[in-house]
Amino acid sequence: MNKTHYSSVSEFVFLGLSTSRPVQQFLLVFSLVIFLMIVLGNFLVILTVILDSRLHSSMYFLLANLSFIDFCLSTLTVPKVVYDLHTGNQAISFRECVIQIFVLHFLGGCEMVLLIAMALDRYVAICKPLHYLTIMSPRTCTVLLCGAWVIGFIHSVAQLAFVVHLPFCGPNEIDSFFCDLPRFIKLACADTYVLEFIITANSGFISLGTFLLLIISYIYILVTVWKHSSGGLSKALSTLSAHITVVVLFFGPCFFVYVWPFPPVPLDKYFAILDFLVTPILNPIIYTLRNKDMMMAMRRLSSRVLHLKRNP
Ligand SMILES: *[C@@H]1O[C@H](CO)[C@@H](O)[C@H](O)[C@H]1NC(C)=O
């Protein structure tokens, strides 16, 4: 693909989160520390689920896959932010920008389907407990995961197909710290009104639809638990509130970026921090520290590791 044929802009410049040097230095340290925690936390979750055979069930496999996607989402943006803050050079090439948009939508689409799969898993576990093992079989789990990757891919290709041929002739400043569609197409030297509408329709309505679907299904599960037993409610409530927290944190920024793409103040970039730094660190915390099985598995894992060290 020869982009220079269409465009004279070969790179974009991020305006970043702040122009003040002390704030930038704070952001540098802050992002670096959180990023290391994200890497550690999510790898711990993945490792525990893979190594502990007692966690080999669809709920934990989906959780480990969610950790993997979260890790990829923050790796897509945070190291570049840290690097940019360190060097003071916040440029990104045209090609890298397009790749970032593609991967962002690919992973975002995947994560949405995965969150639906997790809600489905909880629905079957709580509302149809006798059929849980037959319905949420390893095969179902694999089908759901493949579905997530395929849908993420189709969504991303569909988004980018509309924008790769846009001409760019400057300006090239993006008031954010990563490339995403609304700000990207605003820079094109063409009338992008229809395109903005399509992008909003695609990403905005998909995220709004998925969000409503998830919230309605969690309310349905809660009502079912409430009607059928009084004892199970508190346990279900604590599991489901963890899921609902993640859903709200993940979708909140999406609404800011797509459903209301150009607010008077560029709030969208601050909200995006939630998706790249806050949700990825909260997932391991919410799902592990509040989950007894996960904590026990980690304890078994650490005692196995210590045991190995003592008797090699
Ligand atoms: C994702 O889930 C599958 C089970 O369907 C599992 O085998 C795999 O290890 C999981 N991936 C990660 C990164 O945990």
Nearest CA to ligand 1 atom 6: 61
Query: What is the distance of C-alpha 268 from the center of its chain?
Result: 16
> How many whole angstroms from 132 Cα to the centroid of ligand 1?
19
- pLDDT category, 232, cuts 50, 70, 90? low
Residue 102: exposure state from Cβ atoms within 10 A (0-12, 13-18, ≥19): middle
Nearest CA to ligand 1 atom 7: 61
The atom number, within ligand 1, closest to the CA of 141 reads: 5
- pLDDT category, 2, cuts 50, 70, 90? very low
- 270-306 residues labelled b (16+ CB within 10 A) or e (exposed): ebbbbbbbbbbbbbbebbbeebeebeebbeeeeeeee
The atom number, within ligand 1, closest to the CA of 68 reads: 13
Confidence check: pLDDT of 281 > 50? yes
What percent of the chain shows pLDDT beyond 70?
Answer: 93
**124 touches 136 (CB < 8 A):** yes
Choose one of 113, 121, 145, 287 to mutate for the ligand 1 pocket test, by most ligand atoms within 8 angstroms of C-beta: 145
What are residue 11's DSSP bridge partners? 93
Paired tokens of 5: 């044929």
Choose one of 47, 62, 65, 143 to mutate for the ligand 1 pocket test, by most ligand atoms within 8 angstroms of C-beta: 65
- Domain at 97, CATH number: 1.20.1070.10
Average pLDDT over residues 74-87: 92
d(CA 91, CA 89) in angstroms, rounded, equals 6
Average pLDDT over residues 75-100: 91
d(CA 112, CA 211) in angstroms, rounded, equals 9
The atom number, within ligand 1, closest to the CA of 144 reads: 5
**65 touches 114 (CB < 8 A):** yes
For ligand 1, say whether the CB of 256 is within 6 Å of any of its atoms: no
Secondary structure tally for the chain: helices H, strands E: 12, 3
> How many whole angstroms from 62 Cα to the centroid of ligand 1?
7
More confident residue, 201 or 114: 114
Confidence check: pLDDT of 140 > 90? yes
Q: How far is CA 264 from CA 17, 208, 260, in A?
A: 16, 21, 10
Using left for φ > 0, alpha for ψ between -120 and 50, and beta otherwise, residue 167 falls in beta
> How many whole angstroms from 307 Cα to the centroid of ligand 1?
27
- pLDDT category, 142, cuts 50, 70, 90? very high
- Structural domain span for residue 159: 3-310
Domain count of the fold of the chain:
1
User: CB-based contacts of 232: which residues, under 8 Å, 6+ apart?
Assistant: 126, 225
